[in-house]
């Protein structure tokens, strides 16, 4: 067995984030080493010109400042497809028009409810910053599309329409949705009704517009074409759930992912998808046996700034 010496981190030799993640690899210790190793796998994936890349993540990150990191990845065309949850649309669109606020995990939720404030972890979201603004913006755009004669539309096409509508907004460049539209990066929602954005679509449909169809089969056709046209495929997956599973599920049909970086806080022992380490996906054929892969345990709001900062430095 090859033995590598554990080396101390020397802050005096760190000139940038890439230096830090490299030293974390050499430190040989716990999650720090995983972050360093994962940064290198991510760099290899992005520099591989034959590789098509998928970014999957849950909506909760978009309620935080980590939204800015996801936005930069899409603005710089680092990924070719996004698979996420409906709440991503909720938070991203709402934050174009309204502010979210800092709070704490220990706040009195009964008092917050009486004040019309929703708590997501330690982020505070007033009703006027969420449901009220989304009801206005989503309904208006869907009505416009309907009057233009659009009756059948996929989630990624609908999201591009929302991105296009942001062209007139001064904060448009802060938006994930805007950059997906601008760079024609498809954002797919496998479960489009599970959120405020999706509820507005349902409400519109049942309110006299039952010929309006959000066609998720068109999204599946898009993913199918994407997967079968890929010489290689890679994914950065943040959190589990439907977005992670849809990513690895489709990749089994081309023999599995060639690169996979997974960040999770979930335990493995409960048998959940969120807790399943990437090595488990090899047994299903969703990740190749010879793939470069890693599972990193920890909070993505801490890990992503390090890994993506390191990535961007490596691409200069």
Q: Return d(Cα 224, Cα 229) in angstroms, integer.
A: 8
Q: Which one, of 55, 57, 59, lies nearest residue 195 by Cα?
A: 59
Strand, helix or coil at 9? coil
Task: Confirm whether 316 is a catalytic residue.
Answer: no
With b for 16 or more beta-carbon neighbours within 10 A and e for fewer, the 131-166 pattern comes to bebbeebbeebbeebeeeeeeebbbbbbbbbbbebb
Chain centroid to Cα 15, Å, comes to: 29
Q: Return d(Cα 18, Cα 293) in angstroms, integer.
A: 19
Q: What is the C-alpha R_g of the chain?
A: 20
Q: Which one, of 252, 268, 239, 272, lies nearest residue 61 by Cα?
A: 239
End-to-end CA distance of the chain: 36
Active-site entry in 34, 40, 52, 286: 286
Count the Cβ atoms, other than its own, within 10 Å of residue 204.
18
With b for 16 or more beta-carbon neighbours within 10 A and e for fewer, the 182-201 pattern comes to beebbbbbbbbeebbbbbbb
How far are the Cα atoms of 28, 56, 122, 202, 270 from residue 282, in angstroms, in the given order? 25, 18, 36, 38, 19
Q: Which residues are catalytic?
A: 286
């Amino acid at each position: 067995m090859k033995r590598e010496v554990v080396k101390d981190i020397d802050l005096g030799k760190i000139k940038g984030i890439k230096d830090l993640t490299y030293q974390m690899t050499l430190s040989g210790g716990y999650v720090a080493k995983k972050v360093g190793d994962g940064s290198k796998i991510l760099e290899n994936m992005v520099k591989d010109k034959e590789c098509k890349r998928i970014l999957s993540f849950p909506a909760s990150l978009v309620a935080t400042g980590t939204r800015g990191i996801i936005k930069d990845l899409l603005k710089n065309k680092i990924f070719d497809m996004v698979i996420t949850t409906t709440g991503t649309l909720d938070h991203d669109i709402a934050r174009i028009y309204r502010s979210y606020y800092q709070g704490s995990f220990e706040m009195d939720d009964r008092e917050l409810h009486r004040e019309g404030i929703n708590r997501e972890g330690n982020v505070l979201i007033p009703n006027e910053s969420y449901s009220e603004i989304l009801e206005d913006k989503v309904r208006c755009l869907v009505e416009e599309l309907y009057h233009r004669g659009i009756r059948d539309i996929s989630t990624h096409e609908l999201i591009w329409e929302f991105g296009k509508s942001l062209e007139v907004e001064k904060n448009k460049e802060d938006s994930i949705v805007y950059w997906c539209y601008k760079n024609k990066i498809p954002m797919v929602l496998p479960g489009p009704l599970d959120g405020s954005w999706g509820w507005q679509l349902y409400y519109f449909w049942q309110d006299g517009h039952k010929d309006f169809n959000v066609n998720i089969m068109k999204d599946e056709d898009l993913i199918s074409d994407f997967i079968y046209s890929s010489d290689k495929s890679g994914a950065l997956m943040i959190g589990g759930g439907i977005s992670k599973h849809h990513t690895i599920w489709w990749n089994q049909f081309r023999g599995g992912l060639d690169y996979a970086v997974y960040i999770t806080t979930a335990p493995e022992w409960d048998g959940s998808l969120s807790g399943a380490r990437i090595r488990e996906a090899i047994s299903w054929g969703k990740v190749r046996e010879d793939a470069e892969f890693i599972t990193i345990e920890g909070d993505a709001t801490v890990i992503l700034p390090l890994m993506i900062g390191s990535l961007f430095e490596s691409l200069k």
